[in-house]
């Protein structure tokens, strides 16, 4: 299937590992001109080298603290100078700490909201002018199944990402007639570094996956494939959706 995004300019945030890296690899395989970022120079350059070594794509690595407006601005200016406006944004940032209402302080709350709500909202609004000018664009936010089925120990993530979902749904209606789609992808339990950190007490992946009907962890590339479709011309009539990719973990009907 031709996704029709060859030579589109794609920016994938948080792409040094895990879901972000897998998504970047998938878009590179579709022929996008790819910008990837993270806060760690060594890791993001290693990711860029791995992607360019496995594909024919042009890949540029950027060091960017997504929580900082000045850092995002500098990166975006460099991308625009090289390739022009961003056509595809995959907005992704690491999840906040686990904890309960009485164990988290104000700084942790502020950081979670900044990283997983405000920075993601700002990232979208910073690339929107270029998309609206061309009347074509794709914005995909990576959030979590906690939006559909809150996870007891992740109150910060549950809160921030629910807020982002409300924003994205509203934004999607405001730009829908301008050729820009806005969607969210909700990963379940995938085989990533974050999952391993959250489940440090469980060495056996089968125990982590015991509540998943498929009885296994998701592979990052499986989520990446869904994201690639949502960024494609084939998905031009899909917007404002929260797409769950979880092996059947979420039990609700909606």
**3-state class (DSSP) for residue 246:** coil
pLDDT of residue 182: 98
pLDDT higher than 90, residue 205: no
pLDDT of residue 86: 98
pLDDT of residue 222: 97
Sequence-ordered list of residues with C-beta below 8 angstroms from that of 129, at least 6 positions apart, any chain: 85
Distance from C-alpha of 232 to C-alpha of 3, rounded to nearest angstrom: 5
Mean pLDDT for the stretch of residues 125-130: 98
Q: Is residue 106 part of a domain?
A: yes
CATH of the domain at 74: 3.40.50.720
pLDDT of residue 134: 97
In the chain, the percentage of residues whose pLDDT exceeds 70 is 94
Q: Is residue 95 part of a domain?
A: yes
pTM listed for this prediction? 0.94
pLDDT of residue 206: 60
Evaluate whether 161 touches 112 at the Cβ level (below 8 Å).
no
Helix axes 18-29, 41-54, angle to 10 degrees: 30
Distance from C-alpha of 15 to C-alpha of 21, rounded to nearest angstrom: 4
Token code pair at residue 56: 């024919």
pLDDT of residue 78: 98
Token code pair at residue 22: 């897998």
**3-state class (DSSP) for residue 184:** strand
pLDDT higher than 70, residue 24: yes
Which H helix or E strand runs over 12?
strand 9-12
Q: What value does the CA radius of gyration of the chain take, rounded to a whole number of Å?
A: 17
Token code pair at residue 137: 């664009």
pLDDT digits (tens, 9 = 90+) for 42-51: 999 999 999 9
Q: Is residue 211 part of a domain?
A: no
pLDDT band at 98 (very low <50, low <70, confident <90, very high): confident
Lowest mean pLDDT among 53-67, 95-109, 192-206: 192-206
How many other CB atoms sit within 10 Å of the CB of residue 21? 25
Q: Is residue 199 part of a domain?
A: no
pLDDT band at 229 (very low <50, low <70, confident <90, very high): very high
pLDDT higher than 90, residue 197: no
pLDDT of residue 175: 98
pLDDT of residue 254: 79
Helix axes 18-29, 220-230, angle to 10 degrees: 50
Q: Is residue 24 part of a domain?
A: yes
pLDDT band at 210 (very low <50, low <70, confident <90, very high): confident
Q: Is residue 209 part of a domain?
A: no
Task: Kindly report the average pLDDT of the chain as a whole number.
Answer: 93
Q: Is residue 250 part of a domain?
A: no
* Of 252 and 41, the one with more pLDDT: 41
**Domain assignment of residue 75, given as a range:** 9-190+220-241
Q: Is residue 26 part of a domain?
A: yes
Total structural domains within the chain: 1
């Amino acid at each position: 299937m031709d996704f029709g995004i060859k030579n589109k300019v794609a920016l994938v945030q948080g792409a040094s590992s895990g879901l972000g890296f897998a998504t970047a690899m998938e878009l590179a395989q579709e022929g996008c001109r790819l910008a990837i970022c993270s806060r760690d120079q060594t890791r993001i350059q290693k990711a860029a080298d791995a992607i360019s070594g496995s594909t024919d794509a042009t890949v540029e690595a950027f060091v960017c603290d997504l929580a900082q407006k000045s850092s995002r601005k500098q990166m975006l200016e460099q991308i625009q100078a090289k390739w022009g406006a961003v056509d595809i944004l995959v907005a992704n940032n690491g999840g906040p700490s686990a904890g309960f209402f009485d164990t988290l302080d104000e700084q942790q709350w502020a950081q979670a909201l900044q990283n997983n709500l405000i920075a993601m909202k700002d990232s979208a609004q910073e690339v929107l002018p270029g998309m609206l000018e061309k009347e074509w664009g794709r914005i995909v936010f990576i959030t979590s199944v906690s939006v559909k089925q809150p996870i007891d120990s992740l109150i910060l993530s549950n809160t921030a990402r629910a807020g982002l979902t409300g924003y994205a749904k509203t934004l999607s209606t405001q730009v829908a007639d301008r050729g820009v789609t806005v969607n969210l992808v909700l990963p379940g339990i995938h085989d990533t570094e974050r999952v391993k950190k959250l489940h440090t007490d469980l060495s056996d992946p089968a125990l982590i996956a015991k509540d998943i009907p498929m009885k296994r962890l998701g592979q990052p590339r499986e989520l990446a494939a869904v994201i690639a479709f949502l960024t494609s011309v084939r998905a031009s009539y899909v917007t404002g959706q929260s797409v769950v990719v979880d092996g059947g973990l979420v039990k609700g009907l909606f």
